[in-house]
Amino acid sequence: MQRWAALIRPGGHVLDLACGGGRHLRWLAAQGFAVTGVDRDADAVEPLRALCEIVVADLEGGPWPLPGRRFDAVVVTNYLWRPLFPAIRAALADGGVWIHETFAAGQETVGRPSRPEFLLQPGELLREAAGLRVVACEDGFLDAPPRFVQRIAALREAASDAATPARYPL
């Protein structure tokens, strides 16, 4: 996630979905981003309220908790709930970046999660990013700790002047 933070508008508003204890949320807030964290575990997110806006919501069992709101970035790490893909895309502001990393098929051979509904299939994030500008996509195996992952950084491009194309830092 940190590797692609340069794609986020300076001082922009970031949505951290399924933020848990706030590892990424804390880092983003420390970089000067306004952050909204969403998680269903009220106890886990309570200490984060001093840093940012917190929304306690069940992303899998309830309605989308932020209707109509748009963000300069949506960050999702180690979480997969496929019905959220349309809401994630809709939550991206023009120029906003979707940064997502989670477990992929093959993970069942090295640990948890192991159920197919929690594992991305080959190229799945890339397909979900259709219509966005994909800046990076990775799908493979990491050694430490051993895990299969997919990652994507994809932008909803804002209108730009063709004479000065957008520069996305790599």
Range of the domain at 100: 2-155
Task: For 83-120, write each residue's pLDDT tens digit.
Answer: 999 999 999 999 999 999 999 999 999 999 999 999 99
What pLDDT shows up at residue 166? 77
* pTM of the model as a whole: 0.93
Residue 170 resides in a domain: no
Torsion-angle region of 18 (φ positive above 0: left; ψ -120 to 50: alpha; else: beta): left
Residue 88 resides in a domain: yes
Which CATH number belongs to the domain containing residue 149 in this structure?
Answer: 3.40.50.150
Mean of all residue pLDDT scores within the chain: 94
Residue 60 resides in a domain: yes
Residue 75 resides in a domain: yes
Residue 162 has pLDDT above 90, yes or no: no
Residue 87 resides in a domain: yes
Residue 92 resides in a domain: yes
Residue 161 resides in a domain: no
Q: Rounded to the nearest 10 degrees, how much is the dihedral formed by the CA atoms of 23, 24, 29, 35? A: -120
Residue 168 resides in a domain: no
Total of domains in the chain: 1
CB 5 within 8 A of CB 31: yes
